[in-house]
Structure 1
Amino acid sequence: MTEFTEIPVLDLAPLITGEDTTQLAADFADAYGNIGFAYVVNHGVASDLCKAIFAISRQFHDLPDAAKQAIALDSTHRGYIAINTSTDVNSDLAEVTKPNQSASFMMMREDAEPDPDLYLSGRNQWPVLPGFRDACEAYAKAMTELGYQLMGLALDAIGTTDRSILSAFKTPTIWLRLLHYPPLPPQAPEDLYGSAPHKDFGCLTLLAQDDVGGLQVQTPAGQWVDAPPRDDAFIVNVGDMLHRMSNGKLLSTPHRVINATGRERYSVPFFFDPTVSATIKPLPGTGSPQFEPLNFGDFLKGELEASYDAHQADPSGPQPKTG
């Protein structure tokens, strides 16, 4: 990892149009092998979908509290997450004692017939808001397609010719989160964050931001570099699971959100991960394994139970399937 002062930009046009991606894979390896974050442009996702998801997010967060609490986060991690209800207690990047200053709606894959034995299998909870479900599902579909393409590019970037892991992304674990950050109060304490310093625990995060800003990425020297919004781009970063799959070649980099602008901030992260039954381990061709295999569902269960009341351990409840 190298010191940096700005976030690089990757042009995905060759990937989207089916042209030669040799140089793009090299650029991907450089960006994610040294920084872990990049803007991606020419990504193929229609701007109308992006505008619609931000519009519907604002409408949702403007609903009365009772309407949002009616779909409060459940044990399958779907629904409304109110402000002051999630804390990054597992963070080893800062002493986190205060909840994140954000509220959000969480959508995952819609399982028509939930499997009670499969961790996080379920149906989404939808608010009474015209057009909300359609906007979320259309956006999630487009982002799922882009996520799958980016995973293929990541495999090229780390030099593995084995594509078998992509089967774990055919029925992926997806998380669409509609986030609202109120402005932090004047003279807020230093340890009060919109989102506390953390690394993402999955594979890929594809983030759309409004024009407010507040996202910062940490350098190896501990400095915080702004990642300001760009109308034409998503910010994409690597999470811990892809870091492990790549045998450490791709970096999962700490980041945080501080909304000190005095304005309301909205962002839409989309997390693209393998099925919960996937075994996460260094992929063939990446060198001598630096990480032990782990089951993704078991890992998720530990992370979610540590941070959300809705996931507190219930020995009589569903357990992750392994495989």
Structure 2
Amino acid sequence: MVVLSKPAIEQLSIANDCSTFLPGVPLVDLSKPDSKTHLVKACEEFGFFKVINHGVPFEYMRDLETEALKFFSLPPSDKQKAGPPNPFGYGNKKIGHNGDVGWLEYMLLNSNTEADYHKFASLFGEAAENFSRVLKVYVSAVKKMAFEILEMLADGLKIQPRNVFSKLLMDEQSDSVFRVNHYPPCPDLEESNGAGDLIGFGEHTDPQVISVLRSNNTSGLQICLKDGNWISIPPDHNSFFINVGDSLQVMTNGRFKSVRHRVVANSSKSRLSMIYFGGPPLSEKIAPLPSLMKGEDSLYKEFTWFEYKKSAYKSRLADNRLGLFEKINVAS
């Protein structure tokens, strides 16, 4: 459980400029023949969309949520045995190494190795095997969905090979991670902050290729529109929300937009979110795909995922992480 005093609560960021729920967030039915067209449009206009008929059984989501809540309900001293994150492990309040904090606790795992699964599972005693099992089943299913979405996007863009994006995540050296965030209810929220919302996780873009999010039925997720307005996303524990990451924005030369998003705390309900971040191998070169350029100038300098990851994790959450890699075209 995250425990903060009232002065600590007051030090956290406040969000005052959010509008009401948006009814028009892109919804894509992955079972429909024209879904690839809708996926491309959503990535271009929002950098964010919701998917249904995704093929991940609800019991996979329910079982992992149940196990994760068991973990977060453990005494703080027990949870600390799985941390601090370096970079993987259990974290509380602190986000990164550059001063960002939020009203949350989390566990971060390498999605390509079961070693981290066992580190958390070991805290469950006789139930450890069940925790490892449901975690492995869920992550495997979500990975498969992410691969399929990326291949549908390639089809929608009419580029070959159709695994041009998905192969980066399928690679054995893929630098993909899995994160479970727990935002406890904040009973002092209304008293301490009547003017706005308490930030659970500050505004940022995801540096990877794609992010796949599933949460319980507690609201909190917000995205930033092109006009700078923040809108709240109604929760749906049966569906997944997909974010375009910085790397995919670069590979499409800015055609797809990496969405800026954040999470606000809730005064009475606990929010649990489970996110798969699909990242390429560390040595992978990231640059606009020639097949998408069509005579256009590249907006970005080529870089390796290691270079970008290193730069991103040295920055603050709200920084424009791609700024250092953008090309400045000076008219003659």
Matched, 1:7 2:25: yes
In structure 1, the partner of 2:214 is 208
Aligned residue for 1:40, secondary structure, equals strand
In 2 relative to 1, CA 272–165 (structure 1 residues): closer, same or farther, beyond 3 Å? closer
Cα distance in 1, alignment partners of residues 256 and 241 from structure 2: 16
Measured against aligned partners, the alpha-carbon deviations of 1:80-105 in whole angstroms (never above 9, x if no partner) come to 0112x11595xxxxxxx651111101
| 2:79 pairs with one of 56, 68, 72 | 68
In 2 relative to 1, CA 44–179 (structure 1 residues): closer, same or farther, beyond 3 Å? same
Contact kept in structure 2, 1:203 and 1:238, CA below 8 Å:
yes
Contact kept in structure 2, 1:160 and 1:284, CA below 8 Å:
no
Name the structure where helix makes up a greater proportion of residues: 2
For 1:16-55, list aligned pairs within 5 A. Answer: 21=33, 23-55=34-66
Contact kept in structure 2, 1:86 and 1:307, CA below 8 Å:
no
Matched, 1:174 2:176: yes
| 1:246 pairs with one of 249, 252, 261 | 252
Q: CA RMSD in A?
A: 2.3
How far does residue 272 in structure 1 lie from its aligned partner after superposition? 1.3
Cα distance in 2, alignment partners of residues 5 and 147 from structure 1: 24
For 1:25-174, list aligned pairs within 5 A. Answer: 25-75=36-86, 77-83=87-93, 85-86=94-95, 99-111=101-113, 123=116, 125-127=119-121, 128-129=123-124, 130=127, 131-162=130-161, 163-171=163-171, 172-174=174-176
- Aligned length in residues: 280
Measured against aligned partners, the alpha-carbon deviations of 1:110-153 in whole angstroms (never above 9, x if no partner) come to 447xxxxxxxxx75532411222222111111111111111112
Letter of the 1:56 counterpart? E
Matched, 1:285 2:291: yes
Contact kept in structure 2, 1:175 and 1:271, CA below 8 Å:
yes
In structure 1, the partner of 2:7 is none
How far does residue 280 in structure 1 lie from its aligned partner after superposition? 0.8
In 2 relative to 1, CA 250–27 (structure 1 residues): closer, same or farther, beyond 3 Å? same
Query: So what's the TM-score if we normalise by structure 1?
Result: 0.79
Contact kept in structure 1, 2:50 and 2:241, CA below 8 Å:
yes
Gapped regions of structure 1 (runs ≥ 5): 15-20, 90-96, 113-121, 309-323
Letter of the 1:107 counterpart? L
Contact kept in structure 2, 1:98 and 1:191, CA below 8 Å:
no
Cα distance in 2, alignment partners of residues 283 and 203 from structure 1: 14
Aligned residue for 1:99, secondary structure, equals strand
In structure 2, the partner of 1:302 is 311
How far does residue 167 in structure 1 lie from its aligned partner after superposition? 3.2
How far does residue 282 in structure 1 lie from its aligned partner after superposition? 0.8
Gapped regions of structure 2 (runs ≥ 5): 1-21, 318-332
Q: Percent identity?
A: 22
